[in-house]
Amino acid sequence: MEESELDSSELGTYKYWKEAYTKEISNFEDHGDPGDVWFGEESAFRVIDWICKCGIDKDTPIIDLGCGNGHTLSELAKEGFTNLLGVDYCMEAITLAEKVAKSEYPILKFQVFDIITDDVKNLGSFGLAHDKGTYDAVSLNPENAKENRRKYMEQIVDMLTDTGLFVITSCNWTDAELMRHFSEKMKLKCVIPTPQFKFGGKVGSVVSSVVFEKI
């Protein structure tokens, strides 16, 4: 059965993120507010905790896709990880992340990179790739969402080492849907448990966090 696409949203457009991060840069410069933690801090810390306990070396190359203000990488740096790169297709997000990290986490590296159109070979190879919300944004784009999702998956596989892990958190796709999407290119390693709720007799989660590894 062919997977249905999500309804398009402004959250899938470059214009939205450019405006959002321009505002967050201003907020940070005015009163030191680094901006939102997307999907909430609890969701972010569950994933960070899993990465810290999964057994990879602290010098493993890690990339954060759609890094935004760099929150995930800052937390990983706090835990002792040393080889960290954040990428985002929005220059304003990179500007914000650099400003936030500058004094406390100068080891963090950031660069503008569009995972749909840019060449991943220019980034190098990574033992772990993390995504919280970027695949969602790709899926919500009003133009070519299905084709861009396919391109995204190919790029993930190409940037990972042979033993590389891919950790993805989504608020638009369920665990089962993410497994279907990525099963052609990767195999499931585990699902990171998230709090569940019950509504109308059905059990669900607000967010889904799934870990894959290369086949």
Query: What is the predicted pLDDT for the residue at 12?
Result: 72
What percentage of the chain carries pLDDT values higher than 90?
A: 66
- Whether 3 is covered by a domain: the verdict is no
Domain count, the chain: 1
Q: Does 150 score more than 70 pLDDT?
A: yes
- Whether 4 is covered by a domain: the verdict is no
- Whether 202 is covered by a domain: the verdict is yes
Q: Does 112 score more than 60 pLDDT?
A: yes
Q: Which residue has the tokens 């290119």?
A: 185
Segment 10-45, tens digit of pLDDT = 877 878 878 888 888 787 777 766 666 555 567 789
- Whether 199 is covered by a domain: the verdict is yes
Q: Does 161 score more than 50 pLDDT?
A: yes
- Whether 164 is covered by a domain: the verdict is yes
| CATH number where 80 lies | 3.40.50.150
DSSP label at residue 64: E
- When the pLDDT of each residue in the chain is averaged and rounded to a whole number, the result is 88
Q: Does 198 score more than 60 pLDDT?
A: no
Q: Does 2 score more than 70 pLDDT?
A: no
Q: Tokens representing 159?
A: 């940037």
What residue numbers bound the domain in which 168 lies? 10-214
What pTM does this model have?
0.87
Q: Tokens representing 37?
A: 């933690």
- Whether 2 is covered by a domain: the verdict is no
Mean pLDDT of 59-83: 96
202-205/84-88 β-pairing: unpaired
